[in-house]
Amino acid sequence: MAFQCTKSGTVFLWRGNPNCHAAQKFVRNWLRANSPIYPVVWGPDNARLKGNLGECIAFCCMEFAFGRLPHCLAANALKTLSNISRPGIDLLWIGFAPDPSDDFMIQQEVKTTTDLSLAYASALLTDYRKSFGSDPNVTLNTHLQAFKSKLKYEWRRPDLVDRVNALQAPTPKQADRLLIFPTLVHDANSEDPVLKLTAIEMELTASGWQKIKTWSIAFNGLENHLKSMAEDA
């Protein structure tokens, strides 16, 4: 397997298996097969591309963890190397179970940083606050509305719309079938990601979020691996 997942406290640690190059090769192969634009030049102004690649890596790890979930709305992961970075929920997964009472959704926000201090990790809190905030353009319920439109008109599954309605909630505390995966993609030589992500989890719990799984995805020399992924070199 290209990735392996272990656990430290409550934090899930994703690492390359047997090494980072194996994980990079897996993501590069995924990009070759699925990216409509590939490869691209890794230029000096690459913050947008870096973030998109982080979302793509998280997408690949999620499929490793759960297999191919039925439906996913992705802000940028499925168009990783385009010259835009769309706002909104990074990855929204909906799982339809044989018993509708077991349906669930996963909201995965991803931050990618090559800063060894991992200070950028705190931006995960901002993203999750927006999900039940006052801006209707970025709330979870707005994304679920878009998801229902895809079910009806793109995927031709209007029979599933009411099941999505049952997943909606006005606050994190009432969203009892929502799992959140705050995910940090970072350099393996950074400060301890477990301390950073544990603090984030504690703050999210205090804000009413119920089901939280924090992820650390690390590459040794992340900047170089991202460049190789983008340029297929």
Evaluate if residue 69 carries a pLDDT over 80.
Answer: no
pLDDT digits (tens, 9 = 90+) for 120-148: 999 999 999 999 999 998 999 999 999 99
Question: Are residues 89 and 73 in contact, defined by beta-carbon separation less than 8 angstroms?
Answer: yes
pTM of the predicted structure, to 2 decimals: 0.96
Question: Are residues 13 and 6 in contact, defined by beta-carbon separation less than 8 angstroms?
Answer: yes
Evaluate if residue 78 carries a pLDDT over 80.
Answer: yes
pLDDT of residue 17: 96
Burial 91-125 (b: 16+ CB within 10 A, else e): bbbbbbeeeeeebbbbbbbbbbbbeeebeebeebb
227 vs 167: CA distance, rounded Å: 39
* DSSP state at residue 151: I
Arithmetic mean of pLDDT over the chain: 95
pLDDT of residue 13: 98
Candidate from 13-17, 81-85, 135-139, 197-201 with smallest mean pLDDT: 81-85
pLDDT digits (tens, 9 = 90+) for 160-216: 999 999 999 999 999 999 999 999 999 999 999 999 999 999 999 999 999 999 999
